[in-house]
Structure 1
Amino acid sequence: MNTTAVHPLSIEDAEALVTAARRAADTAGVRVGVTVLDAGGHLLAFRRDDQAVLVSGETSTRKAYTALQLNSATADLVDAVQPGGAFHTLATALDRPLLFIAGGLPVHRDGRLIGAIGIGGGTPDQDHDIAVRAVRSLG
């Protein structure tokens, strides 16, 4: 049993994730919404670029929540919700809305889940790549 304390995702971490995501989005030439949740699913940071599609705020939040709850990149779950997939009915089985589109990533520290980030506004591949770059920047 690992009893070593792991520092939770801080507001400074969340702001660093948002900044890194916005830089990555600028590099990709897309305008996005970015949501960062702590391990309890509570909002730590949110930013939607002025020119991002309005729905990007909702999709980024739902992607972050999905990644957190399933401790998995949403890109890795897309096939699981297709007819015949392991999670086919999961998207409609819960009160909280999940979103199985690439762009959500769990955030780990020392092997422990400490939160999640969601990106919305680009293509699924762009959103996933932006999230990956943001999480990598956290170190």
Structure 2
Amino acid sequence: MPSLTLEQANQIIAGALARSKASGFKPMGVAVLDDAGHLKAFAREDGASMFRFEVAQGKAWGAVGMGASSRALMQRAKDNPNFFVSLAATSGGRFLPQTGAVLIKDAAGQVLGAVGASGGTGDEDEAICIAGVESAGLSAG
């Protein structure tokens, strides 16, 4: 079974932060989790505000746990808010269905993990996650 390597996780972060810098976004935090939701790598840019780690990890944790991007989860939460409030409570607040995380998939479509970002708007966070995944030669989902 393929797994996400530390080298790939670090490349995802480097690619995400390069995209953020090129786009002129605020300082970011980027968390990469493996397919079991365990932290593989994290970086917080100089000047990034508080909670960047917790928010980035919560977005990615929800994505990998539910098998969908955090954007899709946010949409689902609008249709079934009680379920998603229950998920957040059950997970001790670790589950965060807000735009800014995507799944990391290999060429065969196997989920290897998820990456989440925090520091900009949800759209900015999501864009740098996608750029990071693609910079590692993987697919974002």
Shift of 1:87: 4.1
Shift of 1:84: 4.2
Moved more, 88-97 or 20-29: 88-97
SS at match of 1:80: helix
- Please give the per-residue CA displacement for 1:21-45, whole angstroms capped at 9, x wherever unaligned: 1101101212100001111211110
- 2:6 corresponds to: 11
Pick aligned residue for 1:23 from 18, 27, 39: 18
- 1:40 corresponds to: 36
Pick aligned residue for 2:102 from 105, 121, 130: 105
Cα separation, 1, equivalents of 2:12 and 2:128: 10
The structure with the largest helix share of the pair is 2
Q: Is the 8 A contact 1:91 1:98 kept in 2?
A: yes
Q: Is the 8 A contact 1:55 1:121 kept in 2?
A: no
Q: Is the 8 A contact 1:81 1:90 kept in 2?
A: no
- Please give the per-residue CA displacement for 1:34-84, whole angstroms capped at 9, x wherever unaligned: 001111211110000111111111110111101110111101121221264
Unaligned runs of 5+ in 2: none
Pick aligned residue for 1:50 from 22, 46, 49: 46
Shift of 1:95: 2.4
Pick aligned residue for 1:70 from 48, 52, 66: 66
- The AA in structure 2 aligned to 1:113 is V
TM-score, normalisation: structure 2? 0.86
SS at match of 2:60: helix
Q: Is the 8 A contact 2:30 2:43 kept in 1?
A: yes
Shift of 1:85: 5.2
Cα separation, 2, equivalents of 1:66 and 1:113: 14
CA RMSD of aligned residues (A): 1.7
Aligned residues: 134
- The AA in structure 2 aligned to 1:54 is M
Q: Is the 8 A contact 2:88 2:96 kept in 1?
A: no
Cα separation, 2, equivalents of 1:90 and 1:116: 22
SS at match of 2:113: strand
